[in-house]
Amino acid sequence: MNTLAVTRETEEQLFFHNYSRLPIAVTYGEGSWLVGDDGTRYLDMIAGIGVNALGYGDTRLEKAIAEQAGKLIHASNLFLMRPQFELAAKLIELSGLSKVFFANSGTEAVEAAIKMARKWAVDHGDQGKNEVLSLSNCFHGRTYGAMSLTAKQQYVEGFHPLLPALGMVDFNDVRDLEQKVSDRTAAVFIEAVQGEGGIHRVSKEFCHRLMELREKHGFLIVADEIQAGCGRTGTFFSYEQLELEPDLVCLAKPLGGGLPLSAVIGSEKVQGVLTYGSHGTTFGGNPVACAAGLAMIRAIEEDRLMERARETGEFFQEELSKLRERHAAITDIRQYGLMIGITVEGEARHYVERALRHRVIMNATSRNVIRLLPPLVITKEEAQRCIGVLDELFTEQENGG
C-alpha cells in the first residue's frame, strides 16, 4: 500500500522550491477536464501550459504511444528509426523547409538554434558575426543561451554572467530594429505571438522590415513557435499569418503530445550547418515521442482543430468583449485563435486563485494578464463556462469580494 502523501507538505520535504504549484493532486484527465484525487473535476484552461492540444484521453494518441512502446522505447540516434523519419517528413511538408533536428524541450531547441546561427555565420567566413538579438518582453527558455535571450530580471537574477554578444530590440519598434541589426548580427529570434510576455503579436510591418534587413545584413531569422505553434493560433505555425519567412523554426510544447519532444526545422540556406558531431542529444527524437507527435498532428488535421481554434477563439473574443463592457477591471483583450490574454487592473494572480475555487484552472503572466491556453478540443459550452466564471470573478471583485 502506498502511504506517501501527495500534498504540499510532502512537496516541501522532497523538492527544490522552484515551482509554485497549485494545491491539487491530479490523477487523470478527460477531454478538457482534469480530475483530482478526491474526484473534483477542473476545467483546464491552460492545457499543461500549452502542451495538451488534444486535451486528455485521446485514444489515437494513447494507441500510438502504446504500440511504439511495445516495439522500441529507446535506441539512440546511432540508428535509423521510422517514427523519426515520418515525423520529420511531416514537419517538412507543413513548413516547406528542408531539414529537421529533434531535441527534448523548447529551451533545447532554442539552444540548438543559437548554435546553428553562430556556426552558420562562421561557415560563411565571418568570425565576428556572432550577435544574436531577440525582442523585448520575450521568453525563450531557462538554459543559459535561452535565458540570456530572454534577459528578464526575474529569470536571470543570480545567474550572471549571461551569454555574451546578445542584444534586445524593442518589441514592434521598426526604428529600433533598424538601429540594432548590423553586419555583426548572426540571427534575430522572434515569437510571432509572445506567450509569457502577455499574448502580444508582432506586426506585419515589423516582420516585413526584418526580412528586408536580413537581405541587407545577411543574418538568420529564427521563429520561436514553442507556445504558439502546432495549430494554437488557427494555423499550424503562427508566423504564417504575418507572412514571415524564417530560416529556422523552433517547435516544442504540444509537439510530442505530452511527451518530451522538440524540433528545429531549417531552410535550404542552413541545411548544411550541422556536421557529424557538431551537435547532438541522447534522447532527442525518442521513437515513442515521435510516434506520439505524428499521431497528434494527424489528429489536428483529421478533426480540423485549427479551424476549430479559430472559431472557438472568435467566440471567446465576442464573449470577453461583452465582459469588458460590464467590468472596468478588464483593460484589454488579445486573442489569436486559442491563445488569449486578458489584461486586468492589479494582479492577475488574484483572479487565477479565485478561479480555482470555481474549479477552473487559469494562469497569470506578465503580472496583470490572465492567460488562457485551453486544449484545441475545447467545446463552446466549456468555453462559456469559463466566461461565466470570469464574469463571477469580476463581479465579486467589484463587490469587494
CATH number at residue 114: 3.40.640.10
The one-letter amino acid at 196: E
Residues 118-133: pLDDT tens digits? 999 999 877 789 999 9
What letter does residue 170 receive in the DSSP assignment? P
Residues 308-319: pLDDT tens digits? 999 999 999 999
Same domain assignment for residues 246 and 378: no
- Average pLDDT on 363-379 reads 97
2 pLDDT band (50/70/90 cuts)? Answer: low
Record the cell numbers describing residue 369, joined without a space.
Answer: 494578464
Global pTM reads 0.96
Q: Tell me if residue 339 falls in helix, strand or coil.
A: strand
The number of angstroms, rounded, from the C-alpha of 94 to the middle of its chain's C-alpha atoms is 18
Q: What is the DSSP string of 192-256?
A: SEETTTTSEE--HHHHHHHHHHHHHH--EEEEE-TTTTTTTTSSSSGGGGGT---SEEEE-GGGG
Is 395 among the domain residues? no
Record the cell numbers describing residue 27, joined without a space.
Answer: 490523477
Same domain assignment for residues 41 and 69: no
Is 401 among the domain residues? no
Conformation bin of residue 39: beta by default, left when phi > 0, alpha when psi is -120 to 50:
left
Rounded CA separation 378/43 (Å):
10
Residues 191-217: pLDDT tens digits? 999 999 999 999 999 999 999 999 999
Q: Is the pLDDT of residue 1 over 60?
A: no
Same domain assignment for residues 319 and 257: no
Last residue of a domain, one of 269, 284, 302: 302
Tell me the Cα Rg of the chain. 21
- pLDDT at 273 (0 to 100): 97
Rounded CA separation 275/100 (Å):
13
Number of domains in the chain: 2
Same domain assignment for residues 111 and 254: yes
Is 171 among the domain residues? yes
The one-letter amino acid at 16: F
Average pLDDT, the chain: 96
Same domain assignment for residues 311 and 284: no
First to last CA, the chain: 43
Is 320 among the domain residues? yes
Same domain assignment for residues 41 and 114: no
Residues 36-85: pLDDT tens digits? 999 999 999 999 999 999 999 999 999 999 999 999 999 999 999 999 99
Whether omega before 287 lies within 30 degrees of 0, making that bond cis, reads: no
Give the domain CATH number at 328.
Answer: 3.90.1150.10
Is 399 among the domain residues? no
Q: Is the pLDDT of residue 141 over 90?
A: yes
Record the cell numbers describing residue 238, joined without a space.
Answer: 503562427
3-state DSSP helix/strand/coil % of the chain, to nearest 5 = 40, 20, 40
Same domain assignment for residues 132 and 280: yes
Same domain assignment for residues 153 and 271: yes
Is 164 among the domain residues? yes
Is 252 among the domain residues? yes
Same domain assignment for residues 315 and 169: no
- Average pLDDT on 168-175 reads 98
Same domain assignment for residues 160 and 226: yes
Does residue 229 contact residue 238 with C-beta atoms inside 8 Å?
A: yes
Same domain assignment for residues 201 and 298: yes
Same domain assignment for residues 30 and 109: no
Supply the range of the domain harboring residue 27. Answer: 8-58+307-348+356-390
Rounded CA separation 42/363 (Å):
13
